[in-house]
Homo-oligomer: A and B are copies of this chain.
Amino acid sequence: MGIRVAVVGASGYAGGELLRLIAGHPEFDLVAATAHRQAGQPVAAVHPQLVGLDLVLAPTEPAALADADLVFLALPHGESAALAASLPENVRLVDLGADHRLTDAAAWTRYYGGTHAGPWTYGLPELPGQRAAIADSTRVAATGCYAVATILALAPLLAAGVAAPDDVVVVAASGTSGAGRAAKPHLLGSEVMGDLSPYKVGAHQHVPEIKQASGARSLSFTPVLAPMPRGILSTVTTVPTGPGVDPRAVLAEAYAEAAFVHVLPEGAWPHTAATLGSNSCHLQATVDVDSGRLIVVSAIDNLGKGAAGQAVQCANLMLGLPEATGLPVYGVAP
């Protein structure tokens, strides 16, 4: 008998990826999956890629979760706090939403609106000390998708003191699944194919999260919607604090023991397709010959390391399992 697992908000894209990972996890038993409007439908009617997974979506209510040892919350921002409060403390919760990521309530209010629900343990195991913190927690807030890609690229450079925290410029592009499954006109295939489209320019809600977790003090962050279902490519530039900085070496040392963060061989640059379906993050860095800026590029699958994979990784730690249990390292390509 394995660990009994439930997914709340299972009808969305992160929810579907959670179901796929849970179904393939050797220690997890999927006992419930909930949804709002699609409650009552078979999982496979909502996620055709899961044909053969015989489970009906339950309504999103505490009763549906009564049997679970572990609950993943994949709800829109602002909806998980209330449900979480209704669940027993000994049930492990991993929130894929933003409700519990920020320590700064004012930042929450400015970027998300309303009252902040308060912080949980921040679910990015690769940050120093965070594996242990997650293992000791029953409430973990998994990292945002853009935030994962950007923090993993940036944090070791700032921690090592080789880059300036007050001059960070990030342009990051995401596949469309990052925008969710709600049917909005600008997300139609006809609109997004063949198109690169910036959005929330100058004011994206991941800015305070990235600053909090990376140590950046000033951050210009521009997100771009890219014509592909999955993947985030984050291009992070900053300024070296002195001559002779080797950003690749700093990253390689920081992630020498990380199962899922790969600093590529010199000359090889990350690209998103290589991470599809995996929990991996690929990194590379250099110094710009003209401007002297440090440039770090990271690639992840926004539904993998950027959402469901990251959440399962945290859950493994919370449960005392090997961190990589049930998580693919290799991408599905081409």
Contacts and interface: CB of A to CB of B under 8 A. Distances in A.
Contacts of A113: none
Interface in A156-201: 168-169, 171, 173, 175-177, 179, 181, 183-185, 187-199, 201
Q: Copies per complex?
A: 4
A230 B276 CA distance: 13
Contact of A53 (B52, B179, B187, B330): B330
Contacts of A271: 48, 195-198
Interface string A253-294: 000000000101100111111111110101010111111110
A20 interface: yes
Contact of A190 (B187, B196, B329): B187
Interface residues of A, number: 95
B24 A330 contact: yes
A211 to B, nearest CB: 8
Contacts of A192: 189, 193
Contacts of A333: 16, 47-49, 229
A295 interface: yes
B288 A202 contact: yes
20 contacts: A45-B265, A48-B331, A169-B237, A169-B291, A171-B222, A183-B188, A187-B188, A187-B190, A191-B273, A193-B228, A194-B276, A197-B271, A202-B287, A220-B291, A220-B293, A222-B297, A226-B226, A229-B333, A230-B334, A277-B332
The 4 closest A-B pairs by CB, nearest first: A49-B331, A189-B192, A171-B171, A195-B273
